[in-house]
Amino acid sequence: MRFTAAQIAMMIDATVEGDASASVDSFGKIEEAKDGQLAFLANPKYEEYIYTTNASIVLVNNSLELKQEVPTTLLRVPDAYSAFATLLKKYEEIASLQLVGIQDPSFIAKSAKLGENVFVAAFAYISENVVIGNNVKIYSGVVLGNNVVVGDNSVLHPGVKIYHDCVLGKNVTIHAGTVVGSDGFGFAPLTDGTYKKIPQIGNVIVEDDVEIGANTTIDRATMGSTIIKKGAKLDNLIQIGHNAEVGGDTVIAAQVGVSGSSKIGSNVMIGGQAGITGHISIADGTKINGKSGVSKTIKNQNTAITGNPAEDFMKMKRIEAIYRNLPELEKRVRELEKKLSQ
């Protein structure tokens, strides 16, 4: 589908600067875009390309001051990056509208309930008493266990596995290979040195507007629920332990491990490869630097921590500064000891 600059401006409340009839049917990077494509400029590092781009339409910030004429139509908005993301989302929604119906071969239990405009790709498996909402997209290799609930407008990409009794809210996106509801890591040590498995009879609840990356695993609770709250965003290759809670609008980068029964607050930011030990709480608004090891409860909201074990960010910076000077400090101490001994 093609859209004119005027039509796009109406979608994102933009101001057209140039030919309002210029049209596009795809997207491109500002430095590589071709005629008929839409690009955006948000980072000043790429400003030079606005004067040479072949894109037919470019989204720019209202604050951009041009140094010379440009060969393209501009759409001015308060935040070009955000507006571009909005357009990509609309484009994705339009493309997904074409995916409706049940492909063969796929298995859908007779007791399962499917909403309107659902897409089920070939080789998907939908078990007993599953409830699927409207406009849900289920791709190849997806397995939904007994009693799973999938809310409206959710998308399960290839190979996603949702174990029995787990609940997904509305507008949930889960990327390829992710497993939701596998057993929590529960084993009781016995006197003979062996371990006895503790049955994991809880579930996982993923609330509305959550996105989960590829090959992430979220363990079911021993009892009760492991919960990913509304608006949380999880990257690829993350492990969430049993009975953990991830707060609303929290973002977690790749390769983070969250141990069982930890409670992470809302609007928390966790950098890649950080580790959260079990049975602790992380206050709302906390920022955890990548590779940090968090081993104790963070009580104060909106603090930044780093290191292993993690401490206040500025405190750790001072410690690191001292650490880098240790060789020189050692030399000075030895010189002082030598003088004292004389």
Beta strand extents in 65-178 (DSSP E only): 73-77, 101-102, 107-108, 113-114, 119-120, 125-126, 131-132, 137-138, 143-144, 149-150, 155-156, 161-162, 167-168, 173-174
Please state, in angstroms and as integers, the Cα–Cα distance from residue 271 to each residue in 233, 248, 251, 317, following that order. 12, 17, 9, 17
The helix or strand, by DSSP H or E, that contains position 340, with its residue range, turns out to be helix 326-341
Buried b (16+ CB within 10 A) or exposed e, 43-68: eeeeeebbeebbbbbbbbbeebeeee
CA–CA distance, 147 with 55 (Å, rounded to integer):
49
> Is residue 184 within 8 Å of 243, Cβ to Cβ?
yes
Phi and psi at 107, nearest 5°, equal -115, 125
Name the catalytic one among 157, 164, 175, 242. Answer: 242
Q: Specify the 3-state DSSP secondary structure of 304.
A: strand
Q: In 10 A of CB 8, how many CB atoms?
A: 23
* Omega within 30 of 0 (cis) for the link into 105: yes
242 annotated active-site = yes
Query: What residues contact 291, with CB distance under 8 A and at least 6 apart?
Result: 271, 272, 273, 274, 308
Cross-strand bridge partners of residue 113: 131
**Residue matched to tokens 């990548």:** 290
C-alpha span between 92 and 7 (Å, rounded) = 17
As annotated, the active-site residues are 242
